[in-house]
Amino acid sequence: MTHPASASGAVGMVVAPQPEAVEAGALVLRDGGNAVDAAITCALVQGVVDPQMTSIAGFGSLHLYLPGHGVHKLIDFHGRAPARARPDMWADRIEGEARDGFGFLLRDQVNDVGYQSITVPGSLLAYHEAQSAYGTLPWAEVVRPAIEHAEAGFVVRPRVYGFWTQRDDSGRVYTGDRLRHTEAARKIYCDAQGELPLPGSRVHNPDLARSLRRIAEAGAELFYRGEIAREIAADMEHNGGLLTLEDLENYRTEHTEPLWGEYRGYRIATNRPPGGGVMLIEMLQMLEYFDLSALGHNTPEYIRMLCEVMKRATRDKDRFVGDPAFVDVPLDRLVDKAYAKKLAREIESGQIARVERLDSTQAESSNTTHLSVLDADGNAVSMTHSLGMPSGVVTEGLGFMYNGCMGVFDPRPGRTGSIAPGKSRFTSLCPSIVFRGSEPVLVIGAPGGTQIPMGILQTLLNVIDHGMSISDAVSAPRFSATSNAIDVSNRIPRYVTRELERAGYEVIRNHQSYVFAMVHAIRIEGNEVTGGADPAGDGMALSVARRIRA
């Protein structure tokens, strides 16, 4: 079920997939912190209680709307290929590509797990930069709840256990094996027999607590240029990793203006490439040419039309969207309304788009999490952060797992997503804020690999075109088309999908009822603030009033 919250004139709200992290962020708001303090507190706790979804060694995109500061910007902290990486280093290992475009399958899985799968992490630097510049609390106070959770140990929630133990035939490394990949990881996550803890068990990670205490005292500098950086670099060198001390020292976040789009009188602010915001805007602007409410929610024609829009945006992403420092991204054309109209007319005429893929049955990864925060002063934060496919690597004594973001780079040289030293890969992350005039009305984002823009898109349509509450909007059945097939959740009726099949579409039914991203959002309607946490997760929306001190 969903976890909506509603309060007239509520001081603030936090929405995320982990109740412990939501509570930690909400307590910060209650005790006088602002949205940035709450967001970074929440993010750090997420890395403790959901440690394969994100960590201080991950990557992501942070959307800040702080009217009191006159600030509206994105801090993008994508993982970058280490300086030792080369475009052709895995070209002879290719075995397949994910059907949805989320990564490549290589012989020996060197890009998927282990020391060579790690990109230069950006998460901790972005957390520290944002909180130091715009938070109101001391840095150590923001880190404290994560330390406390690491010291006490986190309780394994059903979704965490399900993620650890779910097997598929994708060809990717089983998550349980990632947790056993290094001795340091096994000590945290496995018992003496190598078994993973069951739901309700408590996982203790004193090494992570020590690392966080050190970071609370010294800040992100310790991780990128100090003692922790040297410990990371030594471990990488000893085990054949690509990451070096120089990579850590040279890492910088990117501060950018939002990318803007329009849809039915609403203004959508989202992130720029290599993030996925361009896909969201391109899809919305195509759909503005159709009367979606008249088609009816999740009817066969509605699904067909949206899926053709999704395929065209996916095709453009594959061809054109990458790291703008390395690729000439035709951004103005992709978000141009005339281009959207041209594509819409193709769909209207019945043209079926094709998405090029290498043969593979590999499925998407969802090793990502999200948070949406609003405070009493109207400050809003939307942040999606991730490990990509977790590398399985934990450095002895440090306690956190590194990202595995090399897995999504294209191992074929000369492509938009090809490997290059210092390059960031494309990511579908698109933390967004929707405005009506100058006022924010939705703070939204999601984890979910390549499905992120598709889940956010459908949630926005559910609110704007179909008049749903935010809790209903994040809960409604979803579908997706990031390949030539239409993927549907198990709550899309078969009598609907049979019509799509008769029209010539391949339909793949997912066994899950709630799937294709996990959307977490806040809706603002005058003085009323409501939140919706996607039922696919264990999360919640929590509103709080600031404590009045005597």
**For residues 436 and 441, what is the distance between their CA atoms, to the nearest angstrom?**
6
CB 428 within 8 A of CB 276: yes
Task: Compute the distance between CA of residue 93 and CA of residue 111 in angstroms, rounded to an integer.
Answer: 10
* Residue 424: φ, ψ to 5°: -95, 140
Phi, psi of 381 (to 5 degrees): -135, 130
Contact present, 320 and 329 (Cβ < 8 Å): yes
Closest of 403, 458, 408 to residue 105, by C-alpha:
408
Q: How many CB atoms lie within 10 A of CB 27?
A: 17
Q: How many residues does the chain have?
A: 550
Q: Are 453 and 429 in contact (CB under 8 A)?
A: no
Distance from C-alpha of 75 to C-alpha of 281, rounded to nearest angstrom: 19
Task: Say what the alpha-carbon torsion angle 427, 52, 404, 536 is, to the nearest 10 degrees.
Answer: -30
> Can 368 be counted among the known catalytic residues?
yes
Q: Which amino acid is at 5?
A: A
Pairing of strands 94-97, 104-106: antiparallel
Nearest by Cα to 345 from 289, 418, 415: 289
Spatial CB neighbours of 211, under 8 Å, sequence gap ≥ 6? 56, 228, 398, 399, 400
SS3 59: strand
User: How much of the chain is helix, strand and coil, in % rounded to 5?
Assistant: 35, 20, 45
Q: Which member of 2, 175, 368, 459 is catalytic?
A: 368
CB-hemisphere CA count at 13 Å for 41?
33
The CA distance from 288 to 34, in Å, is 36
Beta-carbon contacts of 414 under 8 Å, excluding residues fewer than 6 positions away, are 87
Helices marked H in 69-157:
123-134, 139-152
The phi, psi pair for 312, rounded to 5°, reads: -65, -40
Distance of alpha carbon 211 from its chain centroid, rounded? 24
Tokens 């992501």 sit on residue? 60
- Identify the sign of the CA torsion 446, 450, 453, 457: negative
DSSP secondary-structure letter at 514?
Answer: S
Question: Which residues lie closer than 8 Å to 4 by C-beta, 6 or more apart?
Answer: 469, 470, 471, 530, 531, 532, 533, 541
Active site residue ranges? 368
